[in-house]
A and B are shown apart, each in its own frame.
Chain A
Amino acid sequence: MLTRRLLTSDWGGTFVLGLLVAMLIAVPIANLMVPPDSPYYLSSYWVALLGKFLTFALLALAIDLIWGYAGILSLGHGAFFGLGGYAMGMYLTRQIGEQGVYGHPVLPDFMVFLSYEELPWFWLGFDMFWFALLMAMLVPGLLALVFGWLAFRSRVSGVYFAIITQALVFALMLAFFRNEMGFGGNNGLTDFKEILGFSVQARETRVALFLASGIAVILGYLACRYIVTSRFGRVLIAVRDAEDRTRFSGYRVDHYKLWVFVFSAVLAGIAGALYVPQVGIINPGEFSPIRSIEAVLWVAVGGRGSLFGAIVGAFAVNGAKTWFTVAYPMFWLFALGALFVLVTLFLPRGLVGLFRRRREGES
């Protein structure tokens, strides 16, 4: 019954989910079972790349949920993505152990280099996978809770909210650049060796991470879909379209915004945690304001207010980026910039809107 509610009158979503499932089946086969000389063979590079795109899709979902449905534009979701990534990065760093350059059993290389005596308190517990995963959700969630509570309570919204989220992510970037923060400063965390005892470089591990990301996207999609099809979701839309009206109907708008903002931050944190083992590095660059704005573009291109559109947008833009940076590196930023302009001018509802409009025209 729930399936029916989630997927009826969501042809696009069902289609995209179908594609995702197909990809989750095909990619492992093409990588692990097909012999390397076959034309159907998919190299591990591609597995990692697609896995990365999946984490981006999850981040796009998180942004679309708050922007497309609740009208909250966050230009700082990279903050939550990055914090989730750092939580996982800390686990992976602690897994390096004696395989590090300095071979210290507990301290990561950069701490030995900066002559730390012992592990800082906030690194404790990160040798356990479950703890790191919990923190990857808890820390972004808590930051969103505090930040959102302050912002929504005093009705900071729209442009102002967008600007202070930029300030938030910028402040985090500056902070993580500092060596004194104890997160590896400029270089961040990298040179990972193992995850749950498996080598991060191994083909099987990469496929497993890819699968985990794919499943996370599917579950994330269904969760978001559940939210937006519930009355809660209709309240969000109500807040987006007529905030005052919603308030005068007796809803605590700030609570709704806060709830969905925290949820979105947790999703972004999970995306970050899945992203880091697949790209093998996390550094303060993830907090750069541009990255966060770019993520908003994925949603805009795909179609804000349509959950599967966010997934489509993340794949489309990042796919184009990968292709451009190989084929025409000089033109990628031109293309990206033009995309921003053209989408806002001509495709206010994104790629998905192209199909939707036609369907609505028919009905």
Chain B
Amino acid sequence: MIRSDTSPLRQWLRRTLSLLTGVLLLLALPTVAADAPGESPDQAPGAPYADTTDGPSVDTLIRELPAGNFNDRRRVAAALAAAGDPRVADILAALADGRLLATGDGPPRILIRDADDREAGTDAISGEAVAADVLAEARRIPVHNPLRNALRSLVAVAGVADARPERRIRSLSRLIRDGGNPDLVPFLEERLDTEDDQRASDLLKTLLALAHLDTGDEAARIEAVATLRGSLLPEARRALAATAAEDPDERVREAAMEAVEHAESRIRFFRFSENLFFGLSAGSVLLLAAIGLAITFGVMGVINMAHGELIMIGAYTTWFIQTLIPGTLSTGILLAIPAAFVVAGLVGIAMERGVIQFLYGRPLETLLATFGISLILQQAVRTLFSPLNRPVASPEWLSGSLNINPVLSLTWSRIYIFVFAIMVFVALILVMKKTSLGLKVRAVAQNRPMARALGVRTGWVDALTFGLGAGLAGVAGVALSQLTNVGPNMGQAYIIDSFMVVVFGGVGNLWGTFVGAMGLGVMTKFIEPHVGAVLAKIIVLIFIILFIQKRPRGLFPKKGRAAEN
């Protein structure tokens, strides 16, 4: 399939790609130079590395940079790059940028002008800040385009020799992005012998393999294909695809073809895993939103349209606690969980005692009454605080993501939400199965007169059950405050979804709610890539509407005579 696509197009693609890479690299250079100083101020240049590098000789080399012509400069730069000194990468990047300056008189001082601020700079050797007037008098060390190109690679090469593994990994990734450079092969092979970091060594191998693919003999190319097989790096996949299309040797082409397919199947797998993960995390949001409803609606049969507002109350509780104790985000969040449970739970109990208890057995009336309550709660929040969204901060451990490989990375917030939803669910199951409250709740739900005859205070159980459902909504609010905007209208977004989950899963069945939430979440995320988020949501809604027609009692219906009525 790839082979049939013969050379002209491929070559054009390849040229365009390399051109693109070149342009990207040019664009990227200033950034490297810019963030480099940001990383280094905490270490006195040279000092920690004094024992591993030949300090004076590097210093001397740096001082030699202004001397001679462009060719001399390139030689010195190459020597510097190979020295493995942490300062070198910044210096070479500055040189390529035209920000490396030299003072005129006496032994020259070499200065680096800041990328952002023309008036600021540091001494290249000592790392000390330099006064603006000194900077103004210093002259730029001249570079021309061929030298600049060479420097670009040298910056990365310098990084490869860096003593810090993460710096080496970054530089290697850069070189891989630049495409294999045959000239570097001896240097890289040397590095491979001494490299002790696993990831860096893998990258080195990839880089070498990329170089061999272009220039090696047949055996080397086959070996390179084997090395790159299964790699998820886009450069490796591109190079393999190119090899599969245009390598002169049949065997190499076949091996490359197989390697490409292997990589593609791995990518498909990881894309699938990613969708699955997104789906489960969306499902856990649904689960959190719906779990309280599974109690109030599922167990008690109360159509609580104010459920979304109880979620909102939980989110506002989070915001309130953060405002009370600013600066301790993690503690704030952890405190908010029980606080939101109590606050929302109390509001729920008040609702039950004040209104809902008079409406049992009239589900449509509860629907309207609780809708009224939801309007009141929304407006109360608007009046008490503000109609605007409240800022809720997230602790650091919730941001960022877990990078599993170049294709798959999972955001921590989603992972935590998933874990949290499972914990809440398990806790609820335990409460319902193991505690006396759970027993009473189930007893009242199954046979109210009998439970009352056995001495269960049904009114009290109703209030507590509703409070439990409301409290769970509050807990969901804490979690959701980390994902979405916290405002008076936030509850509206969840109410329909929550009802859909409970109805889809089967009313009165907690496991049904669990499976329903996860199922709908995964379904949405698998449809989304094809049609977009809004249409996916519409499709899922229509699916549920049709599903309810087929199975009016949901995935896991409650059976028996009681359910008939």
Question: Which residues in A have some Cβ–Cβ distance to B below 8 Å?
Answer: 73, 75, 147, 150-151, 153-156, 158-160, 162-164, 166-168, 170-171, 174-175, 177-178, 289-290, 293, 296-297, 300, 330-331, 333-334, 336-341, 343-345, 348
Contacts and interface: CB of A to CB of B under 8 A. Distances in A.
B373 A341 contact: yes
Interface of B: 303, 305, 355, 358-359, 363-369, 371-376, 378-380, 382-383, 492, 496, 499-500, 503, 534-535, 537-538, 541-542, 544-546, 548-550, 552
Given A156-B552, A338-B376, A170 B364 contact: no
A259 to B, nearest CB: 18
A337 B541 CA distance: 28
A171 B534 contact: no
Question: Which applies to chain A's interface (DSSP): helix, strand, loop or mixed?
Answer: helix
A191 B375 CA distance: 32
Given A150-B546, A174-B534, A341-B369, A330 B383 contact: yes
A168 B542 CA distance: 7
Given A154-B549, A156-B549, A293 B371 contact: yes
Contacts of B499: 163, 166-167
B369 A344 contact: yes
B42 to A, nearest CB: 50
Nearest to A300: B368
A164 B355 CA distance: 25
Contacts of A151: 548-549
Contact of B367 (A159, A168, A177, A333): A159
Contacts of B546: 150
A65 to B, nearest CB: 16
B368 A340 contact: yes
A326 B542 CA distance: 39
Contact of B538 (A175, A338, A339): A175
Contacts of A296: 368
Given A167-B496, A344-B359, A345-B359, 16 more contacts: A150-B545, A154-B548, A154-B549, A162-B364, A162-B367, A171-B537, A171-B545, A177-B534, A300-B368, A333-B378, A334-B379, A338-B376, A339-B372, A341-B369, A341-B372, A341-B376
B542 A178 contact: no
Contacts of B364: 73, 158-159, 162
B369 A345 contact: yes
Contacts of A166: 496, 499
A170 to B, nearest CB: 5
A170 B496 contact: yes
Nearest to B537: A174
Contacts of B368: 293, 296-297, 300, 340, 343-344
A336 B372 contact: yes
**Residue among B305, B358, B375 with most chain A CB within 10 A:** B375
Contacts of A167: 496, 499-500, 541, 544-545
A158 B548 CA distance: 13
**Residue among A154, A296, A340 with most chain B CB within 10 A:** A340
B161 to A, nearest CB: 54
Given A166-B499, A300-B368, A337 B374 contact: yes
A168 B541 CA distance: 8
Given A156-B549, A160-B552, A170-B496, A340 B534 contact: no
8 tightest A-B contacts by CB?
A: A340-B372, A337-B375, A337-B376, A333-B379, A171-B541, A337-B372, A344-B369, A341-B372
